[in-house]
Amino acid sequence: MKKLLAMIMVASMFSLVACGPSEEEKAAAEAEAEAAVNELMNTLDAAAEEATAETEEAATEATTEEAATEEATTEEAAK
């Protein structure tokens, strides 16, 4: 009886191992995951560049407004 149970246990272990994904499936899943990560990183890079451009534009506008206000103040003081 012990031999029969041992043989069933060994057969069960082999069947569990055989249920896993094949090497091709593992490689395909890894490639898909890498593509998803690359797409995410590209999206994040684009968003960061856009945010930087908007920040620089806002800073330039603020500087221009300050210069215009200062120039107007100087002209009023000169009158």
Per-residue pLDDT of the chain (79 residues; tens, 9 = 90+): 889 999 999 999 888 877 778 889 889 999 999 999 999 999 999 999 999 988 888 888 778 776 667 666 666 666 5
Report d(CA 27, CA 36) in Å as an integer: 14
Q: Where are the beta strands (DSSP E) in the chain?
A: none
DSSP at 20? S
Closest CA to 15 of 23, 7, 27: 7
